[in-house]
A and B are shown apart, each in its own frame.
Chain A
């Protein structure tokens, strides 16, 4: 069979990375930086060279940046990596026994070691004509429609929906933000904090409607579960994502809302996962997690590359997850694993002023901290305390 190779007994000569975005690029870069000199193939479905997604719902949507500013690396930097870079090509199947990846152009490619970094894609609703926002082309298409006076319905008041609502208000659109939960983001950041964050939208003139479920997109807006029609010129669906793992169906890899990996981000002999697609065991929190954050993608890509090259000295990937979000003049930074927390406590600043640090407890441990408008030096000790597994009863000692 062409492309087929024996599993490696010795040196690794062919590494294939599927997914050419934050995680895949970080892995490829780190492999080279750590001295890997063999063939390094990177396969990416998108035609664009690796670019950054967070600005898509911020500077790109606002029209502050031209599209070329989101490139993650210059052409020279990419060239220096000596990649076999195959863009506009999708992986369609995997044979772990033969160590072969099948591609949509009908070819296949053998590997000694494989890194899966295929990310996630937006979930959609029934009915045509709605925007989603994941790719550069999505952002450009939506940007073109957000003219002053346009009525935009945003379905889902998570971080993505909230950022887009804020940008659209800034562009002079009428925005209705539709959210099934009683308090936006409550499941992620708790009710108190969720309420404070969403009050910013109301103050900026967003028509925030909670406790409503959208059942379908119609030609002139969205249909709510109760039958009511909410009219809109444009609709953005931001109701979460699903991992891009279909191409792994039929392989013997374990899939469960992501590619299951151990604490070394290994999924099976010769297969690793990194970034938004990977659900790995994070020993720092003693639980499996799949994190859709920009820094995690880079850090996990780097950690994966190092473990792959040095199996005998491999290290568990045990980060404190981190993400940020910009909404209006609010800059939010969150550290740790907030999901499923038992308690939230404001430990510095003041909630209503939207300048505060909130600490999160799960069991008897400090597991997270969320800061809005606070100086980095006040927030850093909290990150450190999460990294060292500080118990909740000791949080008074954390320097402010």
Chain B
């Protein structure tokens, strides 16, 4: 699976870094999300999906490869 992150949509809510710390972090300056793992393996798939579902800006999309 591949993470597509639409950065201009991100509102820096940080829900992604909270539910999927293995896949997302936030920039120090402005809190905008940073993708740590662009192609999460099976062990990270669940938390990546949770992040995509909970992101209040619909900024995260997961594409199956």
Which residues of chain A have C-beta atoms less than 8 A from B28's C-beta? 375-377
Known pairs A33-B49, A375-B28, A376-B14; A73 contacts B58 (CB<8 A): yes
Q: Which residue of chain B has the shortest Cβ distance to A374 in the bound complex?
A: B31
> Which of these, B29, B49, B58, contacts A72 with CB under 8 Å?
B58
> Which of these, A71, A294, A377, contacts B56 with CB under 8 Å?
A294
In the assembled complex, A276 has its CB within 8 A of some CB on chain B: no
From residue 25 to 50 of chain A, which have CB atoms closer than 8 A to chain B? 26, 29-30, 33
> What is the size, in residues, of chain B's interface with A at 8 Å between Cβ atoms?
21
In the assembled complex, A166 has its CB within 8 A of some CB on chain B: no
Complex Cα gap A299–B58 (Å): 13
Number of A-B contacts (CB under 8 A): 55
> Quick check: A33 and B53 within 8 Å, CB to CB?
yes
In the assembled complex, A285 has its CB within 8 A of some CB on chain B: no
Complex Cα gap A26–B17 (Å): 19
In the assembled complex, A204 has its CB within 8 A of some CB on chain B: no
> Quick check: B54 and A295 within 8 Å, CB to CB?
yes
> Quick check: B57 and A52 within 8 Å, CB to CB?
yes
Q: Mark A66-104, 1 if CB is under 8 A from B, else 0.
A: 000101111001000000000000000000000000000
Q: Smallest Cβ distance from A41 to chain B, in angstroms?
A: 20
In the assembled complex, B13 has its CB within 8 A of some CB on chain A: yes
> Quick check: B56 and A29 within 8 Å, CB to CB?
no
Q: Mark B1-26, 1 if CB is under 8 A from A, else 0.
A: 00000000101111101100000001
> Which of these, A73, A322, A375, contacts B13 with CB under 8 Å?
A322
A sample of 17 cross-chain residue pairs with beta-carbon separation below 8 angstroms, ordered by A number, consists of: A29-B53, A54-B11, A71-B58, A74-B61, A298-B54, A298-B55, A298-B56, A299-B54, A302-B53, A322-B15, A324-B12, A331-B31, A333-B31, A375-B31, A376-B12, A376-B17, A380-B18
